Copies of this chain bind each other. A is one copy, B any other.
Amino acid sequence: MDERKKRVLAAIVQDYVATAEPVGSRTIARKYNLGVSPATIRNEMADLEEMGLIEQPHTSAGRIPSDKGYRYFVDCLMEKYALGRDDEEYIRQSFTRKMQEIETVIQQSAATLSQMTNYAAVALGPQVGKSIYRIQFLHLEPGKALLVVVTDAKVVEHRLMEIPLSITSMDLERISEVLNSRLHGVSMERIQRETLADIYRELHRQRQLVGAVLDVVEELFRSNQENRVFLGGMLNILNQPEFRDVSRVKNLLSILEQGNVIRELMQEQPSGLAVRIGGENRHEGFADCSLVTATYHLDGEVVGMVGIIGPTRMDYARALSLVDYISVHLSDFLAKMIK
Task: Show the binding face of A for B, using Cβ within 8 Å.
Answer: 100, 133-134, 136, 138, 140, 146, 148, 150, 154, 156, 158-160, 234-235, 238-239, 243-246, 249-250, 253-254, 257
Contacts and interface: CB of A to CB of B under 8 A. Distances in A.
B146 A146 contact: no
A136 B148 CA distance: 11
B159 A148 contact: no
A148 B150 contact: no
A158 B159 contact: no
A100 B160 contact: yes
Given A235-B253, A244-B246, A246-B245, A158 B160 contact: no
A250 B234 contact: no
Nearest to A101: B159
8 contacts: A136-B138, A146-B148, A146-B156, A156-B160, A158-B158, A234-B253, A238-B250, A246-B246
A136 B235 CA distance: 41
Nearest to A158: B156
Nearest to A140: B134
Nearest to A233: B257
The 7 closest A-B pairs by CB, nearest first: A238-B250, A235-B253, A156-B158, A244-B246, A136-B138, A235-B257, A238-B246
Contacts of A150: 138, 140, 146
A202 to B, nearest CB: 22
A325 B314 CA distance: 46
Contacts of A133: 140
A254 B236 CA distance: 9
A254 B253 CA distance: 16
B154 A158 contact: no
Nearest to A244: B246
Contacts of A134: 138, 140, 146
A335 to B, nearest CB: 15
A37 to B, nearest CB: 40
A146 B154 CA distance: 10
Contact of A148 (B158, B234, B244, B250): B158
A312 to B, nearest CB: 19
Contacts of A239: 250
A145 to B, nearest CB: 11
Contacts of A100: 159-160
